[in-house]
């Protein structure tokens, strides 16, 4: 076979990634040349953009969504002896930060399709030690915020919404973050908008915002004589201006990013057909509840296949298609088991953990790429069907 006759290798499709234009890259160089590279004017601008996005509520930027969860727990006074109720289906961040502040995680199950926290189980899990609820929002169907906050008000609990996956999603026509108690966002490179690494905390008033400023910078307060004091062991979570410069450009482009993601997801729903069938994410019930689609995760019909999830992912990889796992069951990881987690405890979260695969979805993906993913998945599942 001659070089000209060699088959063309298909381009590798990563399952997630950022979309950075040349203007943003040039803007970073300008910040570097300015000499103001730690928290400065661009961080302030980034926070103002996010506040406008969140209906005017105060927002403070941090180095990651993980830092935002930790500071949120501290802001709510959560510590040793307290319990925090959260879903067994989420990323490790929530579990880690609950334990880090000295509290005990209390897990509940989730809905199989929406993956959102089961509020009936939340209410049943409340004890006198419960201090807060941390639900994780998933693409396609947000946690029922009306029911969530009615429950929290009735039981006197704080709510920290983990909105890392849903920047740009709306509840009853309003952006996530514009209502509620405490809301956290992520600006990791795999999210809807990025600052390379970064997070944000939406709070209720300026008093809480000032407290966040203290907690994100060593716990330092300034005294009248121009000396400093520390009364609480804060962290070092202030966002650099370089990151904020990228974040500002990304928020400006967010409507464009969201439109692109929604178009690609529409294509997934139109083209993703397998036999046996997979469980797909939910579709929004109305235009007022438009979703931002940070990821597109399916559940494989493993009971009807001769391969396991690794086999499916390896077969996709052999076709130059990247996939992810979103997410493992928190109560079954080593740390979760220390707090009573065991097999069979939360069947929906456990089934998701066994069967979930995240397919490629990012703004540089083309419709033809989605078709290729769908065709590859269908072929692999058809071949592996029992």
| CATH 3.40.640.10 holds for 22-247 | yes
Separation of alpha carbons 347 and 274, rounded Å: 24
pLDDT at 283: 86
**Residue listed under structure tokens 């439109």:** 259
Question: Which residues neighbour 19 within 8 Å (Cβ) at sequence distance 6 or greater?
Answer: 253, 257, 362, 363, 364
Torsion sign across C-alpha atoms 52, 57, 59, 65 = negative
**Which residues, other chains included, contact 5 with Cβ-Cβ below 8 Å and sequence gap of 6+?**
none
Q: 7-46, pLDDT tens digit by residue?
A: 557 899 999 999 999 999 999 999 999 999 999 999 999 9
Distance CA 12, CA 37 (A): 35
Residue 3 has pLDDT above 90, yes or no: no
The better pLDDT of the pair 68, 285 is held by: 68
Q: Is 131 a catalytic residue?
A: no
pLDDT tens digits, one per residue of 317-327:
999 999 999 99
Beta-strand (E) ranges in 276-342?
296-299
- Active-site hit among 14, 100, 153, 191: 191
pTM: 0.95
Q: Three-class SS of residue 378? A: helix
Give CA 112 to chain center in angstroms.
18
- In this prediction, residues 54-65 reach a mean pLDDT of 98
CA distance 107 to 357: 22
pLDDT of residue 122 exceeding 90, the answer is yes
Look up residue 305 and give its DSSP letter.
B
* Three-state DSSP class for residue 279: strand
Q: What are the residue ranges spanned by the domains of the chain? A: 22-247, 254-384
pLDDT recorded at residue 6? 46
Instruction: Please state, in angstroms and rounded to a whole number, the distance separating the CA atoms of residues 136 and 108.
Output: 12
CA-CA distance, 208 to 182, in Å (whole number)? 10
Question: HSE (CB half, 13 Å, CA atoms) of 298?
Answer: 26
CATH classification for the domain delimited by 254-384, as one of 3.40.50.880, 3.90.1150.10, 3.40.109.10, 3.30.10.20: 3.90.1150.10
């Amino acid at each position: 076979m001659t070089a000209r006759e060699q088959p063309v290798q298909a381009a590798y499709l990563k399952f997630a990634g950022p979309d950075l234009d040349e203007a943003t890259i040039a803007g970073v160089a300008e910040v570097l040349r300015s000499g103001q590279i730690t928290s400065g004017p661009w961080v302030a601008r980034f926070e103002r953009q996010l506040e406008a996005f969140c209906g005017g509520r105060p927002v403070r930027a941090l180095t990651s969504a993980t830092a935002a969860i930790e500071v949120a727990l501290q802001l709510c006074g959560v510590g040793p002896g307290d319990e925090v109720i959260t879903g067994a289906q989420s990323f490790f961040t929530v579990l880690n930060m609950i334990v880090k502040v000295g509290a005990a995680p209390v897990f509940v199950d989730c809905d199989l399709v929406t993956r959102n926290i089961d509020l009936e189980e939340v209410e049943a899990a409340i004890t006198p030690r419960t201090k807060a609820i941390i639900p994780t929002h998933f693409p396609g169907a947000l946690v029922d915020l009306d029911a969530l906050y009615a429950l929290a008000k009735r039981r006197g609990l704080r709510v920290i919404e983990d909105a890392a996956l849903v920047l740009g999603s709306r509840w009853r026509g309003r952006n996530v973050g514009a209502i509620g108690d405490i809301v956290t966002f992520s600006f990791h490179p795999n999210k809807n908008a990025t600052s390379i690494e970064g997070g944000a905390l939406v709070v209720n008033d300026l008093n809480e915002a000032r407290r966040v400023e203290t907690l994100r910078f060593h716990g330092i307060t300034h005294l009248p004589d121009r000396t400093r004091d520390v009364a609480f062991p804060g962290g070092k979570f202030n966002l650099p201006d370089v990151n904020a410069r990228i974040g500002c450009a990304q928020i400006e482009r967010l409507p464009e990013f969201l439109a692109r993601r929604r178009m690609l997801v529409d294509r997934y729903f139109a083209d993703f057909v397998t036999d046996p069938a997979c469980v797909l994410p939910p579709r929004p019930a109305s235009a007022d509840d438009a979703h931002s689609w940070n990821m597109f995760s399916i559940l494989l019909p493993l009971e009807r296949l001769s391969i396991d999830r690794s086999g499916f992912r390896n077969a996709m990889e052999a076709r130059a298609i990247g996939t992810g796992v979103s997410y493992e069951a928190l109560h079954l990881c080593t740390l979760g088991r220390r707090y009573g987690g065991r097999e069979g405890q939360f069947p929906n979260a456990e089934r998701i953990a066994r069967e979930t695969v995240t397919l490629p979805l990012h703004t540089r993906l083309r419709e033809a790429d989605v078709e290729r993913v769908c065709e590859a998945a269908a072929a692999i599942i058809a071949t592996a069907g029992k």
